Structure 1
């Protein structure tokens, strides 16, 4: 049996996705494909494939003759993403806590420990570990489609979670909510898991409503290209 190495497109996808989620590529920033391809040491063909996949995931937008750019954070998108999380994630975690075996319960404990360690060191990494912790709560039970949907929503939510954690004190509150959630999950208290996770998601969305400006169609468009003088 041979092991197929990751393609250049896969590797570029992961690198660019992390840069978007960590805001190394800020909102409304155009992707300079020539420069990025040169930096990554690949041709533009696998890079375009990676950018197309990122657009499918909602992490990039494209305009004719303007190429790809990172979309702005908007109240409209936050409302949609977090509303979908509310519909799926609390019940999924409640079901999973009843199905979790010993290995999966230990994985959830380890995921929270990693999140708390990352929170002390680097907020950027903490948001990635936050996603892993939440996924550890819905993965048991073998509901692959549900897990994939929750993961997709967390990827879309990640930039907003970073925004949410900017004010002082938010991280401590989130940590307290995570510990209470894990305690209920390990106790297999499905009703409490659903209630606590719903409250956790709602409180984040409430904070974001105060942080994000009202919807502005112009805010989602990339800056126009400057014409070069001849």
Structure 2
């Protein structure tokens, strides 16, 4: 049995990341560290540690004598993130469909249910639940380096997920695509699950290309 110890900086990291993903922190304004520290009831030391980690995750950028800013989303970054996802994620989904244990299959079903619940009543959690669903479909592939990359890319995708789901009707389409993907995965139809995962990622990227070029 392993014990996972979360530090104060870990918790602050999650709170600030949620603010970035949800758009509560604007891209064109410096992050007010005094205000955030007061809001969270912490000193600036764990906050600064969390901000530095978020810069490593490419969610923030620091400027000398100006502090931290939210990294702007861009069509070029979306292209790179989703191209990398396409290179590794569909194959991992296919491998995982064949290798998943009963416990892992139950976890994937639960992740889908949690995503649906968030879409219905907790919109601020949709990006996180979406990430957890995709990770649940790939983790059973049993490839540690692949999973490190997928999880990193999923974190970087979260803001783009929020942007992608903003237009009306996108949520329903995403639900249908996720459900079809899950059913193929649960049926251990690796080829079909891989195909649907690639189509889902490609469709999202095509939508983002249009959205981000219009912003």
Q: Smaller-chain TM-score range?
A: over 0.9
2:13 aligned with 1:13? yes
Q: Supply the distance in 2 between the matched residues of 1:24 and 1:57 (Cα, whole angstroms).
A: 18
Distance 1:164 1:135 in 2: 19
Specify the alignment match of 1:220 in structure 2: none
Give the number of equivalent residue pairs: 215
Which protein shows a greater Rg?
1
Mapped contact 1:75–1:214 kept (Cα < 8 A): no
CA-to-aligned-CA distance 1:119-149 (integer Å, 9 cap, x gap): 1113221221111110000011432222221
> How far apart are 1:214 and its partner, in Å?
7.0
What are the residue-to-residue correspondences of 1:1-230 with 2, within 5 Å?
A: 6-213=6-213
Q: Name the CA distance, whole Å, in 1 between partners of 2:65 and 2:89.
A: 39
User: Is the contact between residue 27 and residue 71 of structure 2 (CA under 8 Å) also seen in structure 1?
Assistant: yes
Q: Deviations over 1:36-89 (max 9, x none)?
A: 222222222221111111100111001111110001111011111011000010
CA distance in 1, matches of 2:151, 2:101: 21
The runs of 5 or more residues in structure 1 that have no matched partner are 216-230
Q: For structure 1, which segment, 76-85 or 12-21, has the greater mean C-alpha deviation from structure 2 after superposition?
A: 12-21
So what's the TM-score if we normalise by structure 1?
0.88
More helix by share: 2
Secondary structure in 2 aligned to 1:26?
Answer: coil
Deviation for aligned residue 1:111:
0.9
Task: Give the RMSD, CA atoms, in angstroms.
Answer: 1.9
Q: Name the CA distance, whole Å, in 1 between partners of 2:101 and 2:136.
A: 12
